Amino acid sequence: MRRVRHADVVVIGAGPAGLAAASAAAERGRSVLLVDQGLRPGGQIWRHRDEQALPSAARRLMARARNAGVKLVSGCRLVDAGSPNELVIDFRGRIDRHQTDAVIIATGARERFIPFPGWTLPGVTGIGGLQALLKGGLPVADTRIVLAGSGPLLLSVAAAVAQAGGRVQLVGEQAGAAALRRFAIRVLRDPAKLRQAISYRWACRSAPFRTDTWAVRAHGDGRLQSVEVSERGHLRSIRCDWLGIGSGLVPNTDLGQLLQCQVEHGAIAVDALQATSVAGVWAVGECTGVKGDEAATIEGEIAGRAAAGDAAGAGSTALQAARDSGRRFGRLLEETFAPRPEVLALATPDTILCRCEDVPMRSVDPGWTPRQAKLWARVGMGVCQGAVCGPSCTALFGWSANTVRPPLGNPSCGEWKSGLDSAD
């Protein structure tokens, strides 16, 4: 790898948090490289095929980044990072090394899945996964859809599939009615969140929404045909073409771990200016804790300013108050939508726990450490590096986060080698 390039600030992830961070730093005169593995910028919430169809906040932020001179590279990913001076970026197959004074991690979150019988059947996707496929062009018109999981994503995805002509048979929220009421009271105090919730519910008004409800077993021969749900204590079977599942989101900490940043409670730990425990490394948005796009944007703004040397701007009272409010909302999300014991007990001995390595529950002893599970049963040793089974094991057995190893996002050996060769 001969090519070594420099940018004052390198931001990884072009969701709301990364876009805001990159813009704020570039507006302060810094050269900014924004790297994102998606086909287009916007992250999970603003995943799109046509920018004009995005909400105005998204279009504004993308225009802001462009006007500020941010250099955005899509379809590229950070694969290794020893320090801010050793960032290894895969530019669609060409591997380059980058040096920088400031790294801002904005890698977002992913869905948490709690295994249950039948969850590996084609047609069973994440709730956000279904949303992502829909935004990627999956036609769902006139298909029957059941969503069963936890968290605000349920309603936003139900609205999106209903708008696309999908027939939503049921929206099942595993959290109890009382917990959801407490959550609703908090949302009532926030006009923007309330408006959003109402518009989502209106868009999927013909679909029943049930609390205390979860998927128990997915059935089908080679593909999903029906799902058995536990709906307020009663079992019933629903025929469907798609089943969206997922017990909330978990922060993507892998890049923080590679850079040796401290990780606490499964999130990259940061101070009030979004600085991590490692000098020259900031982290923003959902990789520091799940709390939604508004909070992610605020945190991005703070870190972009701080990384550009504008500590006073980053510490402004208004930004800090908004940041605190976002973190409070995050804690409420965590409390309200934690997986309940009945859901954690759904898997049978035959249920697959680690999908990459085909490891069933029966092969794993909850008394093991994650390392023993890797060595003895290959749990988390597959291509996804434990991205899927890691959070399942944490919820099921209390295991700590999976360790990560480069290259991240595991380019196939062939891809990796040809990239290295072409750079020599």
Partner 1 sequence: MSLGVTLIVDGVPRRADANATLAASLLAAGITAFRRDLGGHPRAPLCGMGTCFECRVTVDGVADVRACLEPVRDGMRIETGK
Ligand X SMILES: Cc1cc2nc3c(=O)[nH]c(=O)nc-3n(C[C@H](O)[C@H](O)[C@H](O)COP(=O)(O)OP(=O)(O)OC[C@H]3O[C@@H](n4cnc5c(N)ncnc54)[C@H](O)[C@@H]3O)c2cc1C
| Residue from 338, 272, 330, 333 nearest 306 by CA | 272
Q: Does 77 bind ligand X (CB under 6 A)?
A: yes
* 250 interacts with, out of ligand X, partner 1, none, CB within 5 to 8 A per kind: none
> Least separation, in Å, of the C-beta of 105 and ligand X?
9
- Member of 27, 33, 37, 284 binding partner 1 (CB under 8 A): 37
- Member of 69, 96, 97, 133 binding partner 1 (CB under 8 A): 133
Q: Does 126 bind partner 1 (CB under 8 A)?
A: yes
> Least separation, in Å, of the C-beta of 408 and partner 1?
11
Cα distances from 272 to residues 14, 15, 286, 308, in angstroms, run 22, 21, 15, 16
Q: Does 129 bind ligand X (CB under 6 A)?
A: yes
* 98 interacts with, out of ligand X, partner 1, none, CB within 5 to 8 A per kind: none
Restricted to residues 391-410, the positions that interact with partner 1 (CB under 8 A) are: 409-410
* 80 interacts with, out of partner 1, ligand X, none, CB within 5 to 8 A per kind: none
Window 42-61: contact mask with ligand X (x via CB under 6 A) = -xxx----------------
Cα distances from 100 to residues 17, 65, 82, 86, in angstroms, run 19, 19, 12, 8
* 133 interacts with, out of partner 1, ligand X, none, CB within 5 to 8 A per kind: partner 1
Q: Does 50 bind partner 1 (CB under 8 A)?
A: yes
Kindly list the residues in this chain that would bind partner 1 in the complex (CB under 8 A): 37-39, 44, 49-50, 75, 110-111, 113, 120-126, 128-134, 136-139, 222-223, 352, 355-356, 358, 382-384, 387-388, 409-410, 412, 414-415
Kindly list the residues in this chain that would bind ligand X in the complex (CB under 6 A): 12-18, 35-38, 43-45, 77-78, 106-111, 126, 128-129, 131-132, 153, 156, 249, 252, 255, 285-286, 292-293, 296, 408-409
